Structure 1
Amino acid sequence: MSGRLRTVVLAALLLTQSHIAHAHIVSARLGDFYAGALHPLLTLQDVLVWMALGLLAGSLGAASGRWLIVVFPLGLCAGLALATTTSIAALPPVVDAATILLLGLLLAASLRIPVALLCAIAFTLGVMRGTANAEELVAQTDRLLYAAGLACAGYVVITLVTAVALSFRRPDTEPTSSWRGITLRAVGGWVAAVGLMMAGLSFAT
């Protein structure tokens, strides 16, 4: 028997002995984690709020930013737990638009917000967005995995955006009037404009 024929026969034998592959075992175990991590990254309100919050923290310095990477994920988990244990519903779209508008204005104004106030804002926003993300939960969802994915996504996004803003802004070495500071303030103006447009659209619909 030639080598090629022997290979074909062995392949045919292997195929006849194969069993049904459990292709969804990873999804069954970690699918809810991935759902919790990816859902907010595919939602415009979440993306804008998370990025604006990270930019705001980065513009204020490392001392403020390092608190948010803990406080914000805790707020997300608290909002998710609140939504699953009570009958509270997600806030209307106009509230999300007003939140984005407020964050943009704070970034554009370059106000020196105290750390305690910034943490309170971050926790409140985390609760709001955690409540909104709870709408994706169904009876079969593993809530612990979903919450872990959501918290990890919040941690990663806030950390990365804050780090980028800190690296770009250099708040400890450059004044607010530098071109870097002006650029961040201009980004805040764009974020506020997006929030204003979203508010107008929510009223129109």
Structure 2
Amino acid sequence: MHSCPSYNSSSLIQKCDGKRRAVIHLLVTAITIACFFRSKNWRQSGRYHTTALYMIVGNLLYLLLTAGFVLWRFSPEFELLPIVFELSYTFIVFPLTVLMFLNSYPQGRVHIAKHYAKWILLYSGFELVLAWNGRMLYGNGWNWYYSTAFDVLMFPMLLLHSRKPLIAYAVSVPIIILLVWYFKVPIEPIARAILETRWSPAN
């Protein structure tokens, strides 16, 4: 095992700390993949692939809307672009956990309540550990409590989408509008950039 250099150099210390943080996110991705393939019902995930895509699209929309107005983001920011870690969660960690949540969805009120509690605690607890270690950063009024409240809302929405996707999309729209309004996310620059992007034929 190699330890980080102890030279009196702030750049080396920051670089070493960034590598430690990167390892955490890579480890989370690897553990998620391993847990998914060790789960009992992973082979039936095909019937829930649209809900996994729903999760992916939702996170990509967040990245688009908050490109210049971050509410939360993963750390680090070192040699690799931060977007690499965002995309690893967007395309691997989040959709695989969605599939595990739906694949193991139980019957009976008590079992369902325990199922929701387990996944909400898993998401919120993991984020709390990341935030405590400086690997999750918040801004513009967002905090861990808002993330937990969002988790409480998110998992029922995932189940709704798996059963009634059109209704889930219809419910998602006012939720997004409410969050954008409440946190005062500036959408004018995004709208302007989209409107100004035009196809220009070659001369």
Tell me the TM-score range normalised by the shorter chain: under 0.3
Of structures 1 and 2, the one scoring higher in RCO (CA 8 A, sep 6+) is 1
Larger relative helix fraction = 1
Say which one has the larger Rg. 1
